[in-house]
Amino acid sequence: MSSSSALFSPIRVGNMNLQHRIILAPLTRVRAHADHVPSPQAPVYYSQRGSTPGTFLVSEATFISQKAGGYDNVPGIYTNAQVEGWKKITEAVHEKGSFIFLQLWALGRAADTAVLAKENNSPHVSASSILRPGQTDVPRALTTDEIKEYVATYAAAAKNAIRAGFDGVEIHGANGYLIDQFIQDVTNERTDEYGGSIENRARFALEITDAVVEAVGAERTGFRISPWGVFNGMGMADPKPQFSYVVEQLRKHKLAYIHVVEPMADEVSAERNSDFIRDIWQGVEGSTFISTNGHTRNSAIETVDKKGGLVGFGRLFIPNVSYLFLDFVVVTDASPLPSLIFHSAY
């Protein structure tokens, strides 16, 4: 294998002309200030990972509002101070000739109730009153009025992201957080228009997407899902019908991309894979498919060469960045991977 792989070839995604198919996947870093303003080290961290021109970065998950939070030291995008903090980051990334989307996040039942209590006594909520494994506090179900408020808050956060200089936003609909809690039947037992059927469970996610697309444009919007994920107590018996419907509806928007958290390599089988989503998404003009979760150099090359799209790396972006964009290109199957050097500065 060599750098002749399509993994190292240009591609247009939304309004961005990328120079290769490797992206920085979202990584929660827990380094923001107490007021959820990004730290002074963050511009250096992100610009280093965008140091190869034409690289696409997706930011760490970022709270759309104080109510949507529930973790300490995670950045937000709902105050002017937070917007100004992110401006320094987007400017640093753009100076390297690279691109960055902001990931929009609401925790739902995954929130730490102690953090919610100290931050304006925000409510502990979800799609339904179902306890998350490992927690002792049962969330309450959001009212329909609160759901509409969340939809509007996502749109406002997306506008703030563009004001902060981001090239677009990624809606975090994966990993058992609030949007995923509405999508999956293991966390959604509602009997109103937001539950009880495939279409109704998808409604919250689709209304958010409608609002965000109206606010910033489809070419500036991506969506992340994890059909096979079990994190945070998730895992439908058969996710294919539910997620097929969600993706079919998202497809109509011609978003910049669909971002799928794949099963780990040792969990993939003929029945358990994300090819059904690729099949639905195929042919969306100006859009692409991003695959993440445990990729190696070889699996990334094989995925892009055989199936197309982009591949996201998370932990491999934490070491010194020369590893990923220099050694990564020239290492052959017969060569040992270079030592990973982990830095603690950010």
* Strands of 118-277, DSSP E: 125-126, 140-141, 168-172, 221-225, 257-261
Residue whose token pair is 């294919």 = 240
Give CA–CA dist 55/71, Å, rounded. Answer: 29
Tell me the longest C-alpha to C-alpha distance in the chain: 59
**32 CB-near residues (< 8 Å, 6+ apart):** 38, 39, 42, 73, 74, 75, 76
From the list 46, 150, 154, 177, the catalytic residue is 177
Give CA–CA dist 271/250, Å, rounded. Answer: 23
Both tokens of residue 173?
Answer: 């609909």
Give CA–CA dist 245/217, Å, rounded. Answer: 22
HEC profile of 29-92: CCCCCCCCCCCCCHHHHHHHHCCCCCCEEEEEEEECCCCCCCCCCCCECCCHHHHHHHHHHHHH
Give CA–CA dist 163/143, Å, rounded. Answer: 30
Amino acid at position 346, single letter: Y
Give CA–CA dist 89/1, Å, rounded. Answer: 35
Give Cα separations from 223 to 58, 120, 258, 343 (angstroms): 11, 29, 5, 30
**61 CB-near residues (< 8 Å, 6+ apart):** 26, 28, 74, 103, 105, 172
Contact (CB, 8 A) for 235 and 179: no
Q: Mark whether 346 is an active-site residue.
A: no
| Length of the chain counted residue by residue | 346
Residues with catalytic roles:
177
